[in-house]
Amino acid sequence: MDVEKFQFKGYQKLLYTNNSPDILNVVYYHLQLNAFQPGSDMDIRLQNIPDPDRRMVNNLGTKENPVYQSRIAELKPNEIGYQKVISLSQNGKKVDYEVIGTILKVVLNEPIKPGDKATFEMEFEAQVPLQIRRNGRNNREGVALSMAQWYPKLAEYDDEGWHISQYIAREFYGVWGNYDVTIHIDKNYVVGGTGYLQNPQEVGHGYEDKNIALKLPNSHKLTWHFKAPNVHDFSWAADPEYLHDMILGENGVELHFFYKNNPETNENWKKLQPKTAELLAYYNKYLGEYPYKQYSVIQAGDGGMEYAMCTFITGGRNLGSLIGVTAHEFAHTWFQFLLATNELKHGWMDEGFTSYISSMAENEILDQKLENPNEGSYNGYYRLVASGVEQPQSLHADMFDYNFAYSNAAYSKGAVFLAQLGYIIGEENLSETLKTYYADYKFKHPKPNDIKRTAEKVSGLQLDWYLNLWTQTTNTIDYGIKDIRDKTIRLEKIGTMPMPLDILVTYTDGKKELFNIPLQEMMGHKPTKATILPSWSWVNPSYSFQTKKQVKSVEIDPENRMADIDKTNNNNF
Ligand SMILES: [Zn+2]
């Protein structure tokens, strides 16, 4: 790494195993730093989307009448990002390749047969762009190097074929591998990131065993050697002013913290450390055990972004925000780095599930005592519906017409998918579903059907209707109370998405009774103490039932777990 010019030279040796049943004649790599150039697809998209990411634009207008300018379009040649392939060989022989935006297409000399291996060797040169999005140099908090999406990275090939979306905005999908990474950088830089440092005594900077003498080399650069088994990405950050702390979490996992020495925020970064250990214990308990030996919380990047065994977060935050962002990014480890769903196609399974569990974790760890920790996600979903620009969750993440529509579909509606699943199958079944899902699908890139099947097997209930309508359509839920005539209650289904119903009836004598109307499609109902009524088929727009006593009031879904878009007709108060 040349820390003056922000350029680096790389050598990559990749031993690739074709685990597919297909013969491969081409392979593809991502060259994601190429996105940070004027005229790139990322730049053009940024200039044309009506609500660009504010971090990526300058506002030349006013707050009320913004005029956005793409920051990528303004980059000078010494500020852009690039990855240039200098040489590439397959099994020792030069191989042809073509660069198409952020994708490198390699036409193989000899096909790779199912089960066979090939070795690719590449020399490349790269420049770290000014920090625009996620990675880059000199972020707004003065972190020198946020090194994500920094190396030519093999694309994923699976039962759907190659996954080679241009790097426009959204997130990632990767190939499992064992990484062995050596970084040569000026000796005053502190490095944190993915993997286990192999030579702590040769670098020091807080990694060393204090009881053994350091063996620092007599040169102006240090050599950092990391190994990271069974990950699908490798990221690192470096800065000469990092403070570096380490504490031990559950099962002896090393929790590292890298942050800029700043008297205003240092105390928050200290208080964050035991809370991160509590988060680890929470996710171990409610999802499944963290399988790696270290995790690093690193002040870098432009907000919060999850990476393998680490996260880049901005650090100038109050304590609540610092813990909140860490809770979210750390939870991503389970969904993005262990289950490893394709986020470009199923962003809701990553962002949504992460939001769900991190809200639950924050509620416990910060002792928030919230009745519904995911209320914010429900509200985000309601805003999305009201906006009129909702598109189905199953849309490719880059293709949403508005960033607003993507983020609310992925984060809010995705979190509600789980919170509402708890309403449908019962909270204990949901909890069991999450643990079983993790146990069965970690390291396997699960798809939407896998979470549905897990929930079906755990609960014994049929859920195809839920997966289809919630994730592939913009259908909405709206039930209402039509009328109440002494002991007869008539309900109506106004919305286009059916649901099972919890109905709380208060009698004129002041006593209450909870009823449950199963959805016929589910072939059963959740475990509940409620009085079970005959099921309601989705084809019927209305439903009525009789009570034994005179009715005073009726309330649909008294716990507010069903995402009914019009609650005004949910009770007769
Ligand atoms: Zn996230």
Instruction: Please list, in sequence order, all residues whose beta carbon lies within 8 angstroms of the beta carbon of residue 79, skipping any fewer than 6 positions away.
Output: 129, 130
- 46 pLDDT above the threshold of 90: yes
Q: Give me the residue label for tokens 């394709």.
A: 342
% of the chain at pLDDT higher than 90: 99
Measured in Å, residue 399 CA sits from the centre of ligand 1 at 18
Measured in Å, residue 571 CA sits from the centre of ligand 1 at 36
Q: What is the mean pLDDT of the chain?
A: 97
Per-residue pLDDT, averaged over 319-345, amounts to: 97
Measured in Å, residue 10 CA sits from the centre of ligand 1 at 30
Residue 374: the pLDDT is: 98
Q: Give me the residue label for tokens 């008539």.
A: 490
Residue 573: the pLDDT is: 87
Measured in Å, residue 351 CA sits from the centre of ligand 1 at 5
CB 55 within 8 A of CB 303: yes
Q: What's the DSSP call for residue 562?
A: S
Measured in Å, residue 336 CA sits from the centre of ligand 1 at 9
Residue 501: the pLDDT is: 98
- 208 pLDDT above the threshold of 90: yes
Measured in Å, residue 327 CA sits from the centre of ligand 1 at 10
C-alpha span between 20 and 558 (Å, rounded): 50
Convert the pLDDT of each residue in 210-264 to its tens digit.
999 999 999 999 999 999 999 999 999 999 999 999 999 999 999 999 999 999 9
Instruction: Please give the backbone phi and psi of residue 445, each rounded to the nearest 5 degrees, phi first.
Output: 55, 60
Per-residue pLDDT, averaged over 497-515, amounts to: 98
By CB atoms closer than 10 A (0-12, 13-18, 19+), residue 146 is: buried
Measured in Å, residue 39 CA sits from the centre of ligand 1 at 28
Measured in Å, residue 224 CA sits from the centre of ligand 1 at 29
**Can you name the residues that pair with 219 across neighbouring β-strands?**
none
Closest CA to 413 of 376, 371, 441, 380: 380
C-alpha span between 425 and 419 (Å, rounded): 10
Question: At 98, which helix (H) or strand (E)?
Answer: strand 96-100
CB 56 within 8 A of CB 123: no
Measured in Å, residue 406 CA sits from the centre of ligand 1 at 12
Residue 561: the pLDDT is: 97
Measured in Å, residue 194 CA sits from the centre of ligand 1 at 18
Measured in Å, residue 523 CA sits from the centre of ligand 1 at 35
3-state class (DSSP) for residue 201: helix
Measured in Å, residue 328 CA sits from the centre of ligand 1 at 6
Measured in Å, residue 258 CA sits from the centre of ligand 1 at 20
CB 187 within 8 A of CB 221: yes
3-state class (DSSP) for residue 381: helix
Band of pLDDT at residue 129, cut at 50, 70 and 90: very high
Convert the pLDDT of each residue in 145-180 to its tens digit.
999 999 999 999 999 999 999 999 998 999 999 999
Reading the block at residue 543, the tokens are: 């439903």
Q: Give me the residue label for tokens 């994500």.
A: 148
Q: Residue by residue, what is the 3-state secondary structure of 219-236?
A: CCEEEEEEEEEEECCCCE
* Angle between helices 427-441 and 448-459 in degrees, nearest 10: 130
The CA-based dihedral angle spanning residues 30, 34, 35, 41, taken in that order and rounded to the nearest 10 degrees: -90
Band of pLDDT at residue 334, cut at 50, 70 and 90: very high
Measured in Å, residue 539 CA sits from the centre of ligand 1 at 37
CB 302 within 8 A of CB 131: yes
- 533 pLDDT above the threshold of 90: yes
3-state class (DSSP) for residue 100: strand
Measured in Å, residue 305 CA sits from the centre of ligand 1 at 7
Measured in Å, residue 171 CA sits from the centre of ligand 1 at 10
C-alpha span between 311 and 295 (Å, rounded): 8
Measured in Å, residue 285 CA sits from the centre of ligand 1 at 20
Per-residue pLDDT, averaged over 538-564, amounts to: 97
Rounded to 5°, the CA angle 440-446-447 comes to 135
Measured in Å, residue 337 CA sits from the centre of ligand 1 at 12
- Neighbouring CB atoms inside 10 A of 98's CB total 10
Convert the pLDDT of each residue in 443-501 to its tens digit.
999 999 999 999 999 999 999 999 999 999 999 999 999 999 989 999 999 999 999 99
Residue 171: the pLDDT is: 83
Measured in Å, residue 330 CA sits from the centre of ligand 1 at 9
Residue 516: the pLDDT is: 98
End-to-end CA distance of the chain: give it in Å, rounded: 68
Measured in Å, residue 332 CA sits from the centre of ligand 1 at 6
Per-residue pLDDT, averaged over 33-43, amounts to: 98
C-alpha span between 186 and 246 (Å, rounded): 22
Convert the pLDDT of each residue in 369-425 to its tens digit.
999 999 999 999 999 999 999 999 999 999 999 999 999 999 999 999 999 999 999
- Length, in residues, of the chain: 573
Measured in Å, residue 306 CA sits from the centre of ligand 1 at 7
Measured in Å, residue 325 CA sits from the centre of ligand 1 at 9
Measured in Å, residue 474 CA sits from the centre of ligand 1 at 22
